[in-house]
Amino acid sequence: MAGVNADRSRQWIPRVRVRVPATSANLGPGFDSLGLALALYDDVTVEITEGGLSIAVDGEGAEVADRGERHLIVKVLRRTFDLLEELSGAGLGQPPGLRLSCVNRIPHSRGLGSSSAAIIAGIVAARALHPCGRLLDDAAALTLATEIEGHPDNVAPCLYGGLTIAWSEPDGPRALRLDLDRQVVVFVPDHTLPTERARGLLPQTVPHEDAAVNAGRAALLIAALTGGLGEDVMLAATEDRLHQEYRAPAMPESADLVARLRAAGVPAVISGAGPTVLAFTTASRVDSIGPKVGNGWHKHSLNVDPHGAYVQPPGP
């Protein structure tokens, strides 16, 4: 058996390092369709070993390093290896052993796409490790990631970078990537909000008028973001009536911050399912209205990430 494992090990790429960006979805009116990749990253290293499974996590999520096969990245790696086996018929099955090392900077359960980053990291790492990984192109990777995550709005910008518009066809998800050179400021609280809880607050139906307003605002937001329009247009473009008001009771501090920033003329929204707040503005603008922000927030000025997930060059 040891000889078989050794032969199989030589067919795998021995080690890969993947960098994945944080993401912000919805962006106000773009519920479950718009997403933005942000220059805040998790670095994931996966090595093929002779046997067993080991996991080391530095930073966010260190408390779940002992989950073993239940760790999200491990589950995604396994699922992607199985899919590649179906596509290739290579007869490799699963690798003999895995060593997973994560350096995590994306806050967990705060609306910045940490689970999407883990999913995309697992898929990109698996196809880089597998000798037939080229069979899983980005479109297929998006489909797999959406199946795991449940919706494509966060996984699309994590995979492609930039600003993405995601939608679903009968045969699977699609995404359009747009270049965006812009700075945003995110306000991250200490407390978390599970996405499942936030989604559970949404109604089954919404008034037709609210849906129409959101459709117009989402179209305006794309024009404002890609056309470099000013904060006055951005303020109108980021109005939302589909999700933020309904979720406000679960994150009153975040809803209050959004209201205070918008009253000061700053285009602010809930990032993803919250409770992080994202503002389409600059750090200097935020500093100028410091009293409107208040304390208790970790402020990060971030550029839009233009690349999405990628395999880093080999290193020590």
Q: Are 128 and 81 in contact (CB under 8 A)?
A: no
Whether residue 127 is annotated as binding a ligand: the answer is no
Which is nearest to 227 in space by CA: 265, 160, 178, 279? 178
Query: Is 36 assigned to a binding site?
Result: no
The helix/strand/coil state of 33 is strand
Alpha helices, DSSP H only, in the chain? Answer: 2-11, 72-88, 114-129, 138-149, 155-160, 195-200, 208-227, 231-237, 244-247, 252-263, 283-288, 290-293
Cα 260 to Cα 17, 279, 292, 307: the distances in Å are 41, 12, 6, 33
Please state whether beta strands 310-311 and 163-169 pair in parallel, antiparallel, or not at all (unpaired).
unpaired
Residue 115, marked binder: yes
CA 311, CA 316: separation in Å to the nearest integer?
A: 14
161 by DSSP, 3-state: which? coil
Is 9 among the annotated ligand-binding positions? no
Residue 78 labelled as part of a binding site: no
Q: Quickly tell me which residue has 């609280």 as its tokens.
A: 189
111 is in an annotated binding site: yes
284 belongs to an annotated ligand binding site: no
| Strands 183-188 vs 163-169: parallel, antiparallel or unpaired | unpaired
**Is 243 flagged in the annotation as binding?**
no
Question: Would you say 109 is a known binding-site residue?
Answer: yes
**136 has which bridge partners?**
none
3-state helix, strand, coil in the chain (%, to 5): 45, 25, 30
Q: Tell me which DSSP letter residue 66 carries.
A: G
Cα 316 to Cα 40, 50, 62, 218, 312, distances in angstroms: 22, 20, 23, 45, 12
Give the residue ranges of the annotated binding site for ATP: 107-117
Give the residue ranges of the annotated binding site: 107-117
